[in-house]
Structure 1
Amino acid sequence: MEQFKVELPKEVTDAIKVEVLNTFKEAKNGVYQDKYPVYLTKKQACEYLNISNGTLNEWIEKEDIPFKHIGKAYRFNRNELDKFMATK
């Protein structure tokens, strides 16, 4: 059985690598986002943002971070937190 070796142009192999990496990133993001609901508690928001409770409280006090205050509970929209952190 004869085998053929095919070499693709560098542009094609680079494009394939980029697409494979993007696919892995999308899969990882999907798993990560599935771990957190759309609306987070204070504890979940701290974990999601990798910040301390004290930092979150400071941001809440300054009304620097987007949140909803419902009775005694705080809720944070995960998508709004992503946008907020992109501007930090």
Structure 2
Amino acid sequence: MEQLKVELPKEVTDAIKTEVIKAFQDAKDDTRGKKFPLYMSKRQTCEYLGIANRTLDEWLKTGDIPYKHIGKTYRFNRNDLDKFMATK
């Protein structure tokens, strides 16, 4: 059986690739967002960043990492952490 080969214009194939990549990224972001809430505890933050609690404590002491301190509780905004890690 002979197969028919159709070539699409480069603009069309580029647009398809862009949309497929965007769909995968959106799906990944949705999954990650469900596991890690927008505002995280110290434990969740360590897991999210893949670092030890000791490392997070050092970053807190130096003031390097963005956080909110409410009473005795620390909260870390996931979006701020992403920006922070992009500069590390």
Do these two structures clear the TM 0.5 threshold for a shared fold by scoring above it? yes
Which residue matches 2:63? 63
Q: For 2:37 and 2:18, how far apart are their aligned partners in 1?
A: 29
Q: For 1:4 and 1:78, how far apart are their aligned partners in 2?
A: 48
> For each residue in 1:4-57, what CA deviation from the matched residue of structure 2 results, as whole angstroms up to 9, or x when unmatched?
653213442233122212211111111111211111000000011111111100
Which residue matches 2:6? 6
Structure 1: give runs of 5+ residues left out of the alignment. none
What SS does the aligned partner of 1:27 have?
helix
Give the TM-score normalised by structure 1.
Answer: 0.84
Structure 2: give runs of 5+ residues left out of the alignment. none
Residues 1-88 of structure 1 aligned to structure 2 (within 5 Å)? 5-88=5-88
Q: For 1:33 and 1:64, how far apart are their aligned partners in 2?
A: 24
Q: For 2:56 and 2:19, how far apart are their aligned partners in 1?
A: 36
CA RMSD of aligned residues (A): 1.8
What's the % identity of the aligned pairs?
Answer: 65
